Structure 1
Amino acid sequence: MSDIIAGHFQLQQQIDEARAALVRDGFAEARISAFYVNQPGQHDVYEYGGDRDISPGAKDTPQGVGKGVVAGGAIGAAIGAATALVTGPAGPVVGALVGAHVGSLYSLHNMKEAGEAERGGENRLEPRRPGMLIAVACADAAEQERALALLGGLGAEHFERAQGDIVDGDWVDFDPLSLPVPAR
């Protein structure tokens, strides 16, 4: 496993120029990897698309809806039972179903508003930005500083530091869902 320095560029031409500059500066071409990073949510990890089974921001949804269904169903059944003389035996059943539905909808009022702080902090760190990424495996701290200076001089943005393996120009253990560690 190596220390990896990566920087983002906007254009493929910039990536090609950065690769050539890294090679001219003594970095082995096999230890340089360049590729496009998709937008968060579009890495196609699952068969039907997406990156995660459940969105981190929606982690409390099943419990909230469940509580709403139970409370609404109980209240609806009680109202239906109280009106059973008028509604007949279907009153408590219909009341429970309507109450469960209303309760599940009411539970949505507990949702986090846009811009509101996350209670568990899952979304506190910014995800990796989409775009062209070039990464170079470095042998030591001096190489890391050389790579940062060279890429910065070429206009790279959003530098990252990572641990991983670049084999024959392919960052084999790159995880697009990992949170980037800023290098600057």
Structure 2
Amino acid sequence: MSTIIAGHFQTQEEIDRARSELVGAGFREDHISGFFVNQPGQHDMTPIGGDNLQSPGAKETPEGVLEGAAAGGAVGLAIGAATSVITGPVGPIVGGLVGAHVGSLYSFSKMKEKGEAEEGGENRAEPRKPGMLLAVALADGGQEQRVLEVMRDLGAHHIERAEGSIVDGDWVDFDPLSTPRIIT
């Protein structure tokens, strides 16, 4: 593994130009990787697609639905039983079903707002930005400043430092879900 410096560019042409500039500055072509990073949620990391089997903000939803359905069902059953003189034997059944449905909607009150912390957890750091990414594996620490100069001069943004391996122009251990360590 080596230190990797990666920067975002707007277009494929900018990636190609940056690659040429870096090779001209003495970096090996097989230690440079250019590729597109998808939007969060679109990395096809699970068997059914996407990044997670369950939406991170929805982990309390099943409990909320069950709590609401149980409470609503009990209230509806009680109201149905109290009105069974008028409604007959179907009153408690219908009351319980309607109450369970209305109570299950209670789970919406447990939904999180964007950016709100998970219960018992911390907010996740800013995810990696989607777009064209050019990464360079450094042979030694002295090359970092030169890579940063070239990338900044060519308009790279969200430049990050990572650890990994670029083999034959492919960042083989790149994790699109990892939290980037932004330099500039």
Q: State the alpha-carbon separation in 1 of the partners of residues 77 and 140 from structure 2.
A: 69
Whether the aligned pair in 1 keeps the contact of 2:43 and 2:176 (CA below 8 Å) is yes
**Amino acid of the residue matched to residue 19 of structure 1?**
R
Match in the other structure for 2:28: 28
Q: Alpha carbon RMSD of aligned pairs, Å?
A: 1.7
Whether the aligned pair in 1 keeps the contact of 2:60 and 2:110 (CA below 8 Å) is no
Are 2:103 and 1:103 aligned?
A: yes
Match in the other structure for 1:168: 168
Whether the aligned pair in 1 keeps the contact of 2:4 and 2:164 (CA below 8 Å) is yes
Percent identity, please.
Answer: 63
5 Å-filtered alignment, 1:7-22, equals 7-22=7-22
**Amino acid of the residue matched to residue 42 of structure 2?**
Q
Which runs of 5 or more residues in structure 1 are unaligned?
A: none
Superposed displacement of residue 54, structure 1: 1.2
Superposed displacement of residue 48, structure 1: 4.1
Superposed displacement of residue 47, structure 1: 4.4
Match in the other structure for 1:181: 181
Match in the other structure for 1:61: 61
Superposed displacement of residue 126, structure 1: 1.5
5 Å-filtered alignment, 1:22-171, equals 22-114=22-114, 117-120=116-119, 123-171=123-171
Equivalent pairs counted in the alignment come to: 183
Range with bigger deviation, 144-153 or 13-22: 144-153
Q: State the alpha-carbon separation in 1 of the partners of residues 166 and 122 from structure 2.
A: 29
TM norm structure 2: 0.91
TM norm structure 1: 0.91
Q: State the alpha-carbon separation in 2 of the partners of residues 65 and 161 from structure 1.
A: 43
Q: State the alpha-carbon separation in 2 of the partners of residues 119 and 35 from structure 1.
A: 32
Q: State the alpha-carbon separation in 1 of the partners of residues 131 and 122 from structure 2.
A: 23
Whether the aligned pair in 2 keeps the contact of 1:38 and 1:131 (CA below 8 Å) is yes
